Amino acid sequence: MTGTNRSEISNCGGYYSVSPNPASDIIKVKFEDEVKINKSEDVILVLYNLSGHKIKQERVGIPNSYMELKVSDLKKGIYILKIISEERQETHKIIKK
């Protein structure tokens, strides 16, 4: 994770929620404050392992109030999900069961 160390990893914000957590197949990233959603804005979801290696990256538009990320192909463990939009960036700890 470029420029991010373990001490900076935390569930922060409140603009997005991630569920279910722990997850086995799919996680949903939901927008908590729909008033601030720019429907034409792309959001980038980046998933890292705890060693800082990028596992997945997806750029998605915002057609609804949530996005889905497939995690069924991942090994059990803890991952870091970085959600990047034009307005903000949040980091969430994800547990794959």
Q: Which pLDDT score, from 0 to 100, does residue 4 have?
A: 42
Which residues in the chain land under pLDDT 50? 1-12, 35
Provide the 10 A C-beta neighbour count for residue 22: 12
Q: Which pLDDT score, from 0 to 100, does residue 35 have?
A: 41
- Residue 47's Cβ-count burial label (10 Å; 0-12, 13-18, 19+) is buried
pLDDT tens-digit map of 37-51: 566 678 889 999 999
* CATH of 6-96 given 2.60.40.1250, 2.40.30.110, 2.60.40.1930, 2.30.40.10: 2.60.40.1930
Share the mean pLDDT of the chain. 80
Helix (H) or strand (E) holding 54: strand 54-60
Prediction pTM value: 0.78
